[in-house]
């Protein structure tokens, strides 16, 4: 057929992989992420751990878009290095991916608009066909080229036709009717096309029984689930990438648990609604990204002054201003730690994978009510939106602690109720608005123990110290970090969030080159805990890895603990996530001569 072409290869060869990386790229609206989802489901059925990431623009159609799926026989938390297979719906996708293509890679290319001109390694095998044109002619819908290409992709990977068909049914069964049938027909066309192209399995992945007790979930979805499990019952938000999925998840699921999830008219309204719900006794949360957090800052100060429990999820993206709405970055550390005028307490926790997103959301709800202050859950685009394989959540680990919340019986035993009573830990007993004999005034002005406005100098100094005492008191309950690697190593890494996976793999690569390393994964960003000082004392060089230009986390560590002579920055700020090779190369180029001693 003139519509198909393949490179000449004398004998088919099969590369056996225990770690597989596949990219699907094209223009926005080509259905690239659908192919990733289908393949992820199919590989899960043969026992793979999967991790996928997206690279899309902030538009409905057009502009380059791609997704990368990694599958492994072991748990993974990064996209790794290199590509084994590329499905490309245009030349631009090939240009984007060509430097990552490994020697044994296979390219499946849609030449509906042009023949492939990009020069690739001679060892790379290319299958070309007019996927879009064929789908348009035979199915009257060009978009179904993604399902046609999925069939060819499955043949390249040696996945059974039945497994591919099951994935289509899984994806489209609930939509039923013409949608399901047209995709099943597209799959058959793809299998026929693979036969015409002479596609033989080029890459094999071990097949085992599906793993039990594992789920595929994004960090955003895990936060939503943790909020419900932790007793959260009021959520307000405004759509903003990459936090929108939290709103979508809770709108679909929170009402099932007698909760309320509202889309507000803007972020200012969202945080004020949540503050009101918290005062009324509900566990409340908002979620946003950098530009939305700008607008929420006034409400944040109100929560600090009036000592109102509130959880704020900040899923970072590239800034400043609107920045790059769909791109990864970790440049809001300073924002969440220092945002707001005046001095007031807040806590910042940082999950590193979807399991952490679930459990730390429960912890954040407890911290917010126990210490009566705003608590940030600091995430990033990759953690929020990428899908990963993690153990099923253990709901028996969920414990709800509402702190010094007074019941009516408690109030009856108190002769005088002071909402902002001075205490040793700075935390005052509180009531829910409307509780008999539990009256108090809420204001954004400075106030005394009863909540009445006060500008008295002695009171001001005393109540300022009272509020800030809570940060120190909370340290005992803040989530501890985790240390990985060789405990005797004198080269260390410090980081947080989605950098967990790339750093662990970089340490493996460095280990093969004879370098001993260890890694402190922070799960509390503010206040920083003594674990940071202990770690810095134990190493000669500490590489602080973060996705921003100025080294915000490194600066916070230096501000709190010093050790400027030991801290070396590893930064990336191009909108993409760290790959293990990025960390290895920067480590080796910056490692002092005595760093490994």
Q: Which residues contact 426 (CB under 8 A, 6 or more apart)?
A: 371, 465, 466, 467, 468, 469, 470, 473
End of a domain among 204, 227, 256?
Answer: 204
Higher pLDDT, 380 or 12: 380
DSSP 508: H
For residue 586, what are the contacts with CB-CB under 8 A and spacing of at least 6?
A: 543, 570
376 and 512 in a single domain? The answer is no
Measured CA to CA, the distance from residue 171 to residue 173 in angstroms comes to 6
pLDDT one-digit tens code per residue, 121-140: 999 999 999 999 999 999 99
Residue 20 sits in which domain range? 4-204
Over pLDDT 70: what percentage of the chain?
Answer: 97
What is the Cα–Cα distance from 533 to 508, expressed in whole angstroms?
Answer: 25
Q: Which of 145-154, 203-212, 219-228, 576-585 shows the lowest mean pLDDT across its residues?
A: 203-212
* pLDDT the model gives residue 6: 46
Q: Is the pLDDT of residue 113 over 70?
A: yes
Q: Which residues contact 407 (CB under 8 A, 6 or more apart)?
A: none
3-class SS at 489?
coil
Place of tokens 């909370």: 474
Both tokens of residue 164? 């591919």
Is residue 136 a part of any domain in this protein? Answer: yes
- Identify the pLDDT of residue 7: 46
Question: Within this chain, do residues 239 and 371 fall inside the same structural domain, yes or no?
Answer: yes
139 assigned to some structural domain? yes
Structure tokens at 38: 């289908």
Q: Tell me which residue of 6, 225, 226, 19 sits closest to 102, measured CA to CA.
A: 19
Find the CATH number of the domain harbouring 224. 3.40.50.970
pLDDT band at residue 596 using 50, 70 and 90 as cut-offs: low
User: Which CATH number do you get for residue 497?
Assistant: 3.40.50.920
In this structure, the answer to whether residues 304 and 374 fall within a common structural domain is: yes
User: Is there a cis peptide before residue 527, judged by omega within 30 degrees of 0?
Assistant: yes
The structure tokens 């042009």 sit at 114
In this structure, the strands spanning 491-495 and 541-546 are parallel
Residue 210 lies in a domain: no
**Coil vs helix vs strand at 428:** coil
Report whether pLDDT(9) > 50.
no
180 and 220 share one domain: no
pLDDT score, position 177: 85
What integer pLDDT is reported at residue 229 of this predicted model?
98
Model pLDDT, residue 592 = 77
- Residue 108 CA to residue 13 CA, distance in Å, equals 17
Q: Report pLDDT for 12.
A: 60
Q: Does residue 265 have a pLDDT over 90?
A: yes
Average predicted confidence (pLDDT) for the chain? 94
pLDDT tens for residues 368-413? 999 999 999 999 999 999 999 999 999 999 999 999 999 999 999 9
CA distance 488 to 473: 32
pLDDT of residue 63: 86
Q: Domain boundary residue among 454, 476, 498?
A: 476
DSSP state of 324: B
Is 239's pLDDT higher than 70? yes
**Do 68 and 161 belong together in one domain?**
yes
pLDDT digits (tens, 9 = 90+) for 149-178: 999 999 999 999 999 999 999 999 888 789
Same domain, 457 and 427: yes
Q: Which two tokens stand for residue 24?
A: 């699907």
* Beta-bridge partners for 155: none
**Domain co-membership, 285 together with 146:** no
Lowest mean pLDDT among 285-289, 364-368, 369-373, 430-434: 430-434
Give the residue-averaged pLDDT of 356-373.
98
Name the residue among 83, 49, 45 with its Cα closest to residue 66: 83
Q: Which two tokens stand for residue 131?
A: 């996927």
Closest listed residue to residue 69, CA positions, set 107, 36, 38: 36
596 is a domain residue: no
Q: Is residue 182 domain-resident?
A: yes
- Give, to the nearest 10 degrees, the angle between helix 145-156 and helix 177-197: 50
User: Does position 11 have pLDDT exceeding 60, yes or no?
Assistant: no
* pLDDT tens digit sequence for 50-73: 999 988 877 667 789 999 999 999
The CATH number given to whatever domain includes residue 128 is 3.40.920.10
Longest dimension (CA), the chain: 92
Are residues 247 and 352 located together in one domain of the fold? yes
Q: How far apart, in whole angstroms, are the C-alpha atoms of residue 500 and residue 114? A: 41
The reported pLDDT for the residue numbered 454 is 96
| Residue 1 reports pLDDT greater than 50 | no
Model confidence over 341-353: pLDDT tens digits?
Answer: 999 999 999 999 9
CA 498/CA 78 separation, integer angstroms: 8
Average pLDDT over residues 297-303: 97
Distances (CA, A) of 56 to 18, 29, 35, 123, 332: 28, 10, 14, 29, 21
* Distance in angstroms (rounded) separating the CA atoms of residues 274 and 282: 9
pLDDT digit string (tens) for 15-55? 999 999 999 999 988 899 999 999 999 999 999 999 999 88
Residue 403 located in a structural domain: no
Looking at the structure, do residues 80 and 104 belong to the same domain, yes or no? yes
Confidence at residue 223, expressed as pLDDT on a 0 to 100 scale: 98
Residue 39's region, left for phi above 0, alpha for psi from -120 to 50, else beta, is alpha
Beta strands in 451-584, from DSSP E residues, in sequence order: 482-485, 491-495, 517-521, 524-526, 541-546, 567-571
pTM, rounded to two decimals:
0.94
Q: How far is CA 236 from CA 185, 271, 336, in A?
A: 42, 7, 19
232 and 200 assigned to the same domain: no
Entry field: residues in the chain = 597
Residue 524 lies in a domain: yes
pLDDT at 57: 76
**Contacts for 221 with CB less than 8 Å, ≥ 6 apart:** 245, 246, 249, 354
The DSSP secondary structure of 93-106, one letter per residue, reads: HHHHHGGGEEEEEE
Q: What is the pLDDT of residues 483-499, one digit of tens each?
A: 999 999 999 999 999 99
**Rounded to whole angstroms, what are the CA distances from 305 to 121, 235, 294, 334, 460?**
62, 21, 18, 20, 12
Overall number of domains in the chain: 4
361 lies in the same domain as 240:
yes
433 lies in the same domain as 326:
no
In degrees and rounded to multiples of 5, residue 416 shows phi and psi of -135, 130
Which of 204, 231, 260 is the C-terminal boundary of a domain? 204
255 in a structural domain: yes
Lowest mean pLDDT, pick from 55-59, 206-210, 373-377, 478-482 = 55-59
| Mean per-residue pLDDT, 295-324 | 97
């Amino acid at each position: 057929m003139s519509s198909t072409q393949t490179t000449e290869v004398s004998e088919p060869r099969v590369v056996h992989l225990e770690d597989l990386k596949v990219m699907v790229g094209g223009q926005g609206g080509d259905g690239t992420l659908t192919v990733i989802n289908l393949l992820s489901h199919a590989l899960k059925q043969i026992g793979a751990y999967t991790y996928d990431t997206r690279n899309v623009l902030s538009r409905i159609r057009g502009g380059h878009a791609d997704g990368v799926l990694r599958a492994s026989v072991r748990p993974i938390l990064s996209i790794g290095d290199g590509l084994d297979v590329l499905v490309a719906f245009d030349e631009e996708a090939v240009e984007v991916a060509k430097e990552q293509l490994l020697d044994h890679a296979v390219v499946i290319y849609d030449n509906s608009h042009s023949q492939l001109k990009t020069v690739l390694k001679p060892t790379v095998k290319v299958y070309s066909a007019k996927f879009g044109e064929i789908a348009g002619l035979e199915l009257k819908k060009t978009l179904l080229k993604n399902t046609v290409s999925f069939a060819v992709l499955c043949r390249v990977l040696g996945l059974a036709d039945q497994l591919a068909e099951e994935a289509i049914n899984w994806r489209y069964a609930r939509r039923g009717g013409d949608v399901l049938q047209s995709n099943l027909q597209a799959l058959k066309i793809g299998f026929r096309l693979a036969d015409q192209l002479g596609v033989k399995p080029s890459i094999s992945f071990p097949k085992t029984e599906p793993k039990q007790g594992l789920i595929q979930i994004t960090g955003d979805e895990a936060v939503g689930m943790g909020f419900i499990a932790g007793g959260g019952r009021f959520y307000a938000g405004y759509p903003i990438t990459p936090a929108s999925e939290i709103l979508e998840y809770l709108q679909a699921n929170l009402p099932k648990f007698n909760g309320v999830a509202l889309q507000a008219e803007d972020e200012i309204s969202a945080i004020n609604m949540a503050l009101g719900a918290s005062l009324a006794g509900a566990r409340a949360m908002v979620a946003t990204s950098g530009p939305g957090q700008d607008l929420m800052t006034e409400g944040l100060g109100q929560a600090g002054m009036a000592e109102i429990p509130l959880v704020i999820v900040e899923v970072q993206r590239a800034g400043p201003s609107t920045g790059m709405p769909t791109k990864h970055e970790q440049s809001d550390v300073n924002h969440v730690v220092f945002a707001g005028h005046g001095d007031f307490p807040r806590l910042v926790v940082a999950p590193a994978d979807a399991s952490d997103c679930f459990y730390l959301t429960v912890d954040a709800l407890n911290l917010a009510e126990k210490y009566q202050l705003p608590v940030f859950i600091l995430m990033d685009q990759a953690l929020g939106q990428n899908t990963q394989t993690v153990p099923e959540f253990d709901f028996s680990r969920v414990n709800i602690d509402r702190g010094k919340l007074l019941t009516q019986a408690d109030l009856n035993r108190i002769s005088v109720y002071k909402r902002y009573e001075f205490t040793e830990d700075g935390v005052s007993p509180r009531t829910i608005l409307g509780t008999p004999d539990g009256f108090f005034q809420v204001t954004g002005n400075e106030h005394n123990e009863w909540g009445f406005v006060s500008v008295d100098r002695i009171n001001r100094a005393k109540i300022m110290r009272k509020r800030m005492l809570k940060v120190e008191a909370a340290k005992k309950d803040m989530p501890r970090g985790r240390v990985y690697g060789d405990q005797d190593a004198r080269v260390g890494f410090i980081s947080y969030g989605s950098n967990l996976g790339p750093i662990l793999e970089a340490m493996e690569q460095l280990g093969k080159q004879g370098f001993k390393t260890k890694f402190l994964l922070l799960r509390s960003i503010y206040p920083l805990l003594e674990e940071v000082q202990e770690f810095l004392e134990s190493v000669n060089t500490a590489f602080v890895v973060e996705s921003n230009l100025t080294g915000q986390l490194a600066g916070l560590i230096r501000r709190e603990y010093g050790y400027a002579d030991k801290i070396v920055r590893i930064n990336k700020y191009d909108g993409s996530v760290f790959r293990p090779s990025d960390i290895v190369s920067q480590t080796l180029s910056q490692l002092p001569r005595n760093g490994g001693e």
